[in-house]
Amino acid sequence: MSLIKLPQLNAGAIPEKVSYELTPQAAKKWSAGIKAQDDDDDNGNVINIYDVIGGYDDGAANCDYVAKALKRIGNNDVVVNINSPGGSYFEGVGIYNQLSMHPGRVTVQVVGMAASAASVIAMAGDEILIGSGAFLMIHNAWCLAMGNRHDLQGIIDGLGAFDKAMADLYAQRSHRPLDEIAAMMDKETWLDCTAAMECGLATGRLEVKKQTTVDSESKQARALVDTALAQLGMSRKERRQVLSSLNKNHSMPCAAEDSATPGAGSDDFLASANGLLNFLNRKD
């Protein structure tokens, strides 16, 4: 970025036996269909992050998508619209680093939710604008892990390093004491527009028209299914295969087709996804 000097975050190598995932709480709170009304990302200087970080589809919120968008935009200023419940810490750090190195002015607009890894991305803005009814959420890195006690101790040490890097970033942007930010992360803090501005994690109020896309319920159901399957120990690849099968069977629009009219199978997808969720969450 040209206006603010921000640190580069080093995510390191993705550890074995650990997966950094979307939290169930954020998935449940996410209003997936909210987006900015003027968000044409095909020709303009706009990047839209309207999905789980790391995503499920080729057009979703990941490093490759952002890199291609920045290449198209060149050295021009860029607007980044965010409505995301978070997701992969590593993808979030990668997107943050790409935006923080962009030579043009970066304006972040939180139109719905910027939670977890999405809040890290939001910190890359020269301006961080948040809408009425929108939220930032900061917390400690959240993962699913397996292994013996030595594996788990290594994962705990790694989580500590990730949390310190995020806390340093939030503290630098907000000019708040590091221990105050760490305490906010420990208890998982949700900040509305007023609170985000008061604590310094947003620089202004967003005055932008919002609209809700037609596949809001389906997109949230997909995120909830993915989170439930992750808690059962399924790998990201296996979960994507399950979700891809549901998509194909019921003609659900992918992330790149948010503005499209859903196919006749969208209601069927939602019913199947909710049925699967009920099965996964049943109490035996």
pLDDT score for 240: 72
> pLDDT 10s digit of each residue in the chain, 284 long?
446 777 777 766 556 666 666 788 888 889 888 888 766 665 589 999 999 998 766 556 899 999 999 999 999 999 999 999 999 888 999 999 999 999 999 999 999 999 999 999 999 999 999 998 999 999 999 887 878 888 888 888 888 989 999 999 999 999 999 999 999 999 999 999 999 999 999 999 998 666 555 456 677 777 777 777 777 777 767 777 777 776 666 544 444 334 444 444 456 666 666 666 676 666 55
pLDDT score for 219: 72
Beta bridge partner(s), residue 137: 115, 190
- DSSP structural state of residue 261: P
Kindly list the distances between the CA atom of residue 220 and the CA atoms of 84, 149, 204, in Å, as whole numbers in the listed order: 10, 35, 28
Return d(Cα 167, Cα 27) in angstroms, integer. 23
Return d(Cα 116, Cα 178) in angstroms, integer. 18
pLDDT score for 254: 43
CATH topology of domain 18-211: 2-enoyl-CoA Hydratase; Chain A, domain 1 (3.90.226)
Kindly list the distances between the CA atom of residue 235 and the CA atoms of 101, 120, 226, 241, in Å, as whole numbers in the listed order: 32, 24, 10, 10
pLDDT score for 172: 94
Q: Tokens representing 237?
A: 């690849």
